[in-house]
């Protein structure tokens, strides 16, 4: 077995995904797992956790032949690179300025673009074509815009749904924490219902409001959603037509292939 381990290090979760390289450049995602992101966790702790999850599916360390990493948490960059060497004996491919992406970045300082946003753009173009808007529901919610020439134009970043809800819980002492989910009704009959409806539909309104403005400027753009809360929010919006929770992992697979001279250019 010859597997690629894709590692997406976000502010909230570290997501692991496996691809069977023997199935060619279009290999589907085999398995994926989420770990809580912790800047204090050691290489050994991450490594043992990763191996335990993989062994539950019959995957051993020796099956991992390649590792691709995207990381937006700088202290964890050396941790993940060490994990790749120590647990899998592989020098990881790391998404950083200079890697071949096939996407021209047209922002003021291309080196400041987060790896996650670039990887999402690459995967979104491969999957849906261009022009394209990618909405990533993560710790922050980002909106990334790619034109018909497959050029990355920039985007918007706003507080994520969980961050927004947590601010409400912390600053309003009499309001309890509630589950973030589609509410039973629009008009709440009690405090919990009212909070659930306000948080949920308020965020749906935020997303649709931003997308409405973007689509007024880029009317031909497709809209795709990814990230941990994509399945929760996207189905209730007017403008999101595609949901791809594993877009980041697919993007890492695509970039690894592209930088080996394989797959599409």
Q: Which residues are catalytic?
A: 116
In whole angstroms, give the CA distance from residue 218 to residue 215. 5
In whole angstroms, give the CA distance from residue 190 to residue 187. 9
Structure-token pair, residue 12 = 């909230």
In whole angstroms, give the CA distance from residue 152 to residue 131. 10
Give the per-residue SS3 of 6-40.
Answer: EEEECCCEEEEEEEEHHHCCCCCEEEEEEEECCCC
Structure-token pair, residue 30 = 């085999």
Dihedral class, residue 102 (left if φ above 0, else alpha if ψ from -120 to 50, else beta): left
In whole angstroms, give the CA distance from residue 145 to residue 191. 38
Q: Which of 154, 116, 114, 160 is nearest to 141 (CA)?
A: 160
User: How many other CB atoms are there within 10 angstroms of residue 84's CB atom?
Assistant: 23
Tokens 């919610």 belong to which residue?
A: 141
């Amino acid at each position: 077995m010859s597997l690629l381990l894709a590692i997406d290090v976000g502010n909230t979760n570290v997501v692991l995904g496996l691809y069977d390289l023997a199935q060619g450049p279009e290999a589907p995602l085999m398995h994926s797992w989420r770990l809580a992101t912790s800047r204090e966790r050691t290489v050994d702790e991450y490594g043992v956790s990763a191996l335990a999850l993989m062994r539950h599916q019959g995957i051993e360390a020796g099956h991992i032949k390649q590792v691709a990493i995207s990381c937006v948490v700088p202290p964890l960059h050396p941790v993940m690179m060490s994990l790749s060497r120590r647990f899998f004996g592989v020098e990881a491919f790391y998404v950083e300025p200079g890697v071949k992406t096939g996407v021209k970045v047209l922002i003021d300082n291309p080196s400041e673009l987060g790896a996650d946003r670039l990887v999402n753009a690459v995967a979104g173009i491969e999957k849906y074509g261009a022009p394209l808007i990618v909405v990533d529901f993560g710790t922050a919610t980002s909106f990334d815009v790619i034109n018909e020439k497959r050029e990355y134009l920039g985007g918007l970043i706003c507080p994520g749904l969980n961050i927004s809800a947590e601010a409400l819980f912390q600053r309003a002492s009499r309001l309890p924490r509630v589950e973030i989910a589609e509410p039973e009704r629009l008009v709440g009959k009690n405090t919990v219902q009212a909070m659930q409806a306000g948080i949920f539909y308020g965020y749906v309104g935020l997303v649709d409001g931003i997308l409405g403005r973007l689509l007024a400027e880029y009317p031909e753009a497709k809209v795709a959603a990814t990230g941990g809360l994509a399945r929760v929010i996207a189905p209730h919006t007017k403008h999101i037509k595609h949901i791809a929770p594993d877009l980041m992992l697919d993007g890492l697979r695509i970039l690894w292939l592209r930088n080996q001279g394989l797959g599409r250019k």
